[in-house]
Amino acid sequence: MSERENILGRIREALVVSAPLPGSHGDTTAHATAEPPASHAREWLPSVGASVTEQFELFAKNAADLKADFQVLASRDELKTVLAKLRDAEKWQRIASHDGELSNFACKSLGLPVTLTDRGYEVQEMEKCDAAITECDALIAQTGGVAVTSRSAGGRALSVLPPHHVVIARREQLVADLPSAFALLQQKYAPDFPSMISFITGPSRTGDIERILVLGAHGPKKLTVLCV
Amino acid sequence: MSSASKFKSLATEKSGDLRHRQVIRTALRGYEIVRDKRKAAFQSWESARQAAAETKWEAVNHLDKHLESLVAKLESRGTKVHWASTAAQAREIIAQILRDKKARSIIKSKAMTSEEIHLNHALEKEGFTVVESDLGEFIVQLRHEPPYHIVFPSMHLTRGEIKDLFQKELGDAPSDSPEDLTMVARRVMRQKYITADVGFTGANFAIAETGMISITENEGNARLTAALPKTMVTLIGIEKVLPRFADLALFLPMLATAGAGQPMTCYNTMYCGPRQPGECDGPEEWHVVLLDNRRTELLADAEQRDALHCIRCGACLNVCPIFRNVGGHTYGTTYSGPVGAVITPHLRGLQEWKHLSNASSLCGACTEACPVKIDLHHHLLQNRRNASAAQPAFFEKLAYQIFGIVANEPRFWSLAKKIGWLTQPLHSAIKGSVLDPARSWTKTRDLPPMPRETFKDWWRNRK
Amino acid sequence: MTVTLFIPCFIDALYPRAGISMVEILERLGHRVVCPEAIACCGQPPFNSGYHAEARTIATPVLEKLADAEAVVIGSGSCGAMVKKFYPELFKDTRHAALAQQVAARTWEFSDFLVSKLGVTDLGAKFPHKVTFHDGCHGLRELGIQKQPRALLANVSGLELVEMAEVSCCGFGGTFAAKFPMISTAMGEVKCATAAETGAEYIVSSDSSCLMHIQGLLTRQGKPTKTISLAEVLNSQ
């Protein structure tokens, strides 16, 4: 018998006796409801506001709390200007990115040498890049976070290895809350999910030393979200 | 020395260590403030807890079905899944993967299950180099000590101690500022990520519906561990299952809130396979090792099965007055605090570890704090009941039998009180000394004076 | 009504004034009070250590003596929790199972009885001191007693209530205090320090067992803070 069969066998035997449902005061006959218990999560998680305007404001507030830089831009021209300002202020010399409508536009406008990941890349080369420019799947108002996948954001390392991560997003990509974000990802990709989905909520951080917040523990020290 | 005597001796030492008490209080005070703020931000934290509890009930009480779905989906995307009944089997599976890959260096992100099976020691004995990438784990690895807390491995250390450690072990410690020290670790880790042959991770959740492993972290070290090395190995306890992808929308913010007082941790990442066709990076091979290690025994105890609902947030540790006074190392086992006191007797032996369940005032703060509503403090009582039934302590049992006769027989009870009152002056003479039968009390506390007239005397005299 | 007052063993032997205060308060409210002679202990010590048979030996006569009570009032949060929450578990699958449920349903801790059952919060008491209130864990978490003592203290003339900065276990925990004395002491020291920060003259509690532990530490350390039971405060004129 394989260990698989051993373990599954022990599980089945153990589950012959029912355990009471939480909050049922020992009642083992209470049946779980048909609807998933977490389906009303939106009603209990922090509130997000009804309008898109309120949700943008909430995203902005959350991003600020996370020490992520967030800007809503009126046009592609403004995006160009902001990127150029960033390049000059941060003294970028080389960037990394992936193929995508927005990311291509951004890279072109920056006019810097680019390491593109799509057809494979040398890690040591990405290590020399000052920033990564990626697209994303969603911005989440409730948390100030960004959802990326290995398919939408140039692989697994791009959004975490270089010291500055810049996300270029479309306005329509803002969703209200986490349940919406998960629903969006499921609808967009199931059953053939990208091998990595990541919710990025702020620049990398640690509190392991005396619980003092330090940014840039291993992942990017800076996160910039530009919404156009 | 038995585990129980070791515990008692360490507990006594640490309880009297005022410096340690203050360091932990300060560390946890910061956490408490943000935790309460984040809980208050929920529209209904209590409804969220109930839903989380019911979701884990569903997951654990249909564990076989969920594991089968998880594994089928993982395997369909090219993941190699292994099943380990014991710690030894898990170690051997992992070691064999490393041998097959001719790996030399392993970069690890935080995994309490790897502590549980003593993986590092076994791999290092065989000649593999294992580097902990999580800052807190990296620090305790340099100190050759286990993690102090399941979420905050180095919370017992001050910046000065870490500076000295880095100076001694790395020759690199520009100052004692947390920023500088963190950057030292970042520098040390960079090349290790890039050159490691194998990346090893733990996991927070396993999603049955979509065949995914979910990892929660702040630093980004797990993301790098899962991105760069050619081979990735993930170890996960079988109980970590959640039924649906959408369940994460509830569990991720709850884990962050209860565990760290954050709305979400920085990186919450779901993996469903190794590098897929068309993807530009990621491990060519991904091995997921499912660990039982006596979890199925706890599963079989229907009364305490909900202890397997634990999401390892550490909230119970943070509120536990025992943990706060004796510290994580005193427990002498991987899982400390209230959840550790509940499950360790099941995972490592009831009689040898019952003292962890005994060392509690049953205040119930843990049960109140648990985001998935595990009945922690009542499980401690149940462990005590099971331990005493299987192996009663002769004198203790006798003492209760005598007390039973005395307490509810008015003449004996009156007599006992009289004797107590009469011997009071004698007791003052031996108070606190080795002759004092009440020494465990009187060593640090005074006993109240016994009044001449007891309540029952007063009540009787009224009539 | 006729109130059956169950005075726990340590109040009987060590803090009779707390019990006397409860009797006087209830009688002043117009109720008839009976205190069964023959019972002294709820059985919690053996129960807490896992010795259920021995606990039942002690608890069975208690249950039987309380069987016909109209209302049972217990002078302690921890003993109250024992009867109300743990007796049904202790007597599960025994011939006393139903009785345990019935008695539990008719049992209240003292402050809870006054406020929740009798709807009384003003006892005309006077206690012109600065006090802080210690919530005994069993009363707080097993019986949900938190608002009730504060509602009563709010109506005590001259009393100033200052809350402690944190809610934490005093460290008594019954047999825990004797089995793990150093952890118990450390927890008590934290409690005493937290109480001292309020500047209160008195630490008040519904649980005299907690007070025994706290006072034991205060006295040993020569600290001026005093402890007093809630019942005595409510009975002060």
Q: Which residues contact A83 (CB under 8 A, 6 or more apart)?
A: A106, A109, A110, A166, A226
Alpha carbon B440 to chain centroid, angstroms: 29
Q: Which residues contact B260 (CB under 8 A, 6 or more apart)?
A: A207, B31, B34, B35, B151, B218
Contacts of C194 in chain B (CB under 8 A): none
Residue B219 lies in a domain: yes
Is C79 at the interface with chain B, CB within 8 A? Answer: no
Q: Rounded distance, CA B380 to CA B346, Å?
A: 11
Which chain B residue's Cα is nearest to C48? B381
Which pLDDT does position B193 carry in this prediction? 87
* pLDDT tens digits along B129-159: 999 999 999 999 999 999 999 999 999 999 9
User: Do B48 and B83 reside in the same domain of the chain?
Assistant: yes
Contacts of A189 in chain B (CB under 8 A): none
Shortest CB distance from B397 goes to which of C13, C54, C190?
C54
Range of the domain at B160: 44-293
Domain at C130-234, CATH from 2.20.25, 3.40.1580, 3.30.110, 3.40.50: 3.40.50
Residue contact C173–B360, C-beta within 8 A: yes
Residue contact B281–A202, C-beta within 8 A: no
Phi, psi (rounded to 5 degrees) for B232? -120, 135
Q: Total domain count for chain B?
A: 3
Residue contact C137–B362, C-beta within 8 A: yes
A137: tokens are 């799947």
From residue A35, give the alpha-carbon distance in Å to each of A32, B244, B259, B273, B371: 8, 12, 28, 29, 21
Sign of the alpha-carbon dihedral angle for B87, B88, B94, B98:
positive
Residue contact B279–A161, C-beta within 8 A: no
Shortest CB distance from B459 goes to which of C35, C52, C217?
C35
Confidence check: pLDDT of C170 > 80: yes
User: Do B50 and B34 reside in the same domain of the chain?
Assistant: no
Residue B222: band (very low, low, confident or very high) from pLDDT cuts 50, 70, 90:
very high
Residue pair B283/B274 in contact (Cβ under 8 Å)? The answer is yes
Shortest CB distance from B362 goes to which of C39, C173, C179?
C173
The alpha-carbon gap from A159 to the nearest alpha carbon of chain B, in Å, equals: 9
Residue pair B126/B95 in contact (Cβ under 8 Å)? The answer is yes
User: Do B34 and B53 reside in the same domain of the chain?
Assistant: no
Which pLDDT does position B463 carry in this prediction? 74
* Helix H or strand E encompassing C6: strand C2-6
Instruction: Give the residue among C9, C206, C236 at the shortest CA–CA distance from C109.
Output: C206
Alpha carbon B372 to chain centroid, angstroms: 15
Confidence check: pLDDT of B241 > 90: yes
Contacts of B193 in chain A (CB under 8 A): 218
CATH 3.30.70 fits C2-117, yes or no: no
What average pLDDT score do residues B44-55 get? 97
- B neighbour chains, 3+ CB pairs within 8 Å: A, C
Shortest CB distance from B440 goes to which of C41, C172, C178?
C178
Which chain C residue's Cα is nearest to B369? C141
* pLDDT tens digits along C87-130: 999 999 999 999 999 999 999 999 999 999 999 999 999 999 99
Length of chain C: 237
Which pLDDT does position A31 carry in this prediction? 64
Residue pair B184/B232 in contact (Cβ under 8 Å)? The answer is no
Q: Rounded distance, CA B55 to CA B53, Å?
A: 5
Compute the mean pLDDT over every residue in chain B, rounded to the nearest whole number: 95
Q: Rounded distance, CA A85 to CA B323, Å?
A: 51
What average pLDDT score do residues B404-420 get? 86
Q: A25-43 burial, b if ≥16 CB within 10 A, otherwise e?
A: eeeeeeeeeeebbbbbbbe
Which pLDDT does position B326 carry in this prediction? 96
pTM metric for this prediction: 0.96
Which chain A residue's Cα is nearest to B263? A143
Q: Which residues contact B1 (CB under 8 A, 6 or more apart)?
A: B9
Residue C67 is which amino acid?
Answer: A
Residue B148 sits in a domain whose CATH number is: 3.40.50.10420
Q: How far apart are the first and last CA of chain C?
A: 25
Residue contact C40–B400, C-beta within 8 A: no
The residue ranges of chain A whose pLDDT is under 50 are none
User: Do B210 and B348 reside in the same domain of the chain?
Assistant: no
Which pLDDT does position B13 carry in this prediction? 96
Residue contact C138–B362, C-beta within 8 A: yes
* pLDDT tens digits along B304-349: 999 999 999 999 999 999 999 999 999 999 999 999 999 999 999 9
- Contacts of C224-227 with CB under 8 Å at 24 or more apart are C225/C192, C225/C195, C225/C196, C225/C200, C225/C201, C226/C201, C226/C202, C227/C202, C227/C203
Residue B228 lies in a domain: yes
The alpha-carbon gap from B455 to the nearest alpha carbon of chain C, in Å, equals: 4
Is C219 at the interface with chain B, CB within 8 A? Answer: yes
Domain boundary among B391, B420, B438: B391
User: Do B175 and B232 reside in the same domain of the chain?
Assistant: yes
- Strands (E) located in chain A: 69-72, 95-97, 114-116, 131-134, 138-140, 145-149, 164-169, 174-175, 196-200, 205-206, 214-215, 222-227
Q: B310-321 burial, b if ≥16 CB within 10 A, otherwise e?
A: bbbbbbbbbbbb
Instruction: Give the residue among B372, B368, B310 at the shortest CA–CA distance from B341.
Output: B310
Which chain C residue's Cα is nearest to B431? C220
**What are the residue boundaries of the structural domains of chain C, listed by start?**
2-117, 130-234
Is C177 at the interface with chain B, CB within 8 A? Answer: yes
Which chain C residue's Cα is nearest to B411? C38
Q: What is the dihedral of CA B340, B346, B349, B352, to 10 degrees?
A: 40
Q: Rounded distance, CA B122 to CA C10, Å?
A: 54
User: Do B384 and B444 reside in the same domain of the chain?
Assistant: no
- Strands (E) located in B109-210: 129-132, 198-201, 205-207
Shortest CB distance from B408 goes to which of C38, C173, C212?
C38
Which pLDDT does position B311 carry in this prediction? 98
Is C2-117's fold the same as C130-234's? yes
Residue B303 lies in a domain: no
Confidence check: pLDDT of C192 > 70: yes
Which pLDDT does position B438 carry in this prediction? 85
What average pLDDT score do residues B243-265 get? 97
Residue B396 lies in a domain: no
Contacts of B252 in chain A (CB under 8 A): 178, 199
Confidence check: pLDDT of B42 > 80: yes
- C neighbour chains, 3+ CB pairs within 8 Å: B
Alpha carbon C23 to chain centroid, angstroms: 14
- Lowest mean pLDDT segment, chosen from B26-30, B222-226, B297-301: B26-30
Residue B304 lies in a domain: no
- A neighbour chains, 3+ CB pairs within 8 Å: B
Residue contact B279–A150, C-beta within 8 A: yes
Residue contact A150–B267, C-beta within 8 A: no
Contacts of A148 in chain B (CB under 8 A): none
User: Do B321 and B428 reside in the same domain of the chain?
Assistant: no
Is C36 at the interface with chain B, CB within 8 A? Answer: no
Residue pair C206/B348 in contact (Cβ under 8 Å)? The answer is no
Q: What percent of chain B has pLDDT over 70?
A: 100
The alpha-carbon gap from A178 to the nearest alpha carbon of chain B, in Å, equals: 5
What average pLDDT score do residues B416-420 get? 86
Contacts of C178 in chain B (CB under 8 A): 440-441
The alpha-carbon gap from C217 to the nearest alpha carbon of chain B, in Å, equals: 5
Q: Which residues contact A74 (CB under 8 A, 6 or more apart)?
A: none
- Lowest mean pLDDT segment, chosen from B193-207, B401-415, B417-431, C88-102: B417-431
Contacts of B64 in chain A (CB under 8 A): 8, 11-12, 15
Which pLDDT does position A29 carry in this prediction? 63
User: Do B353 and B212 reside in the same domain of the chain?
Assistant: no
User: Do B387 and B415 reside in the same domain of the chain?
Assistant: no
8-state DSSP, B146: -
ipTM value, please give it: 0.97
Contacts of C138 in chain B (CB under 8 A): 362, 364
The alpha-carbon gap from A88 to the nearest alpha carbon of chain B, in Å, equals: 24
8-state DSSP, A30: P
Shortest CB distance from B404 goes to which of C58, C184, C213?
C58
- Lowest mean pLDDT segment, chosen from A198-207, B290-299, C32-41: C32-41
B12: tokens are 């006594």
Residue pair B189/B134 in contact (Cβ under 8 Å)? The answer is no
* pLDDT tens digits along B387-405: 999 999 999 999 999 998 8
Residue B212: band (very low, low, confident or very high) from pLDDT cuts 50, 70, 90:
very high
Contacts of B457 in chain C (CB under 8 A): 16
* pLDDT tens digits along B157-176: 999 999 999 999 999 899 99
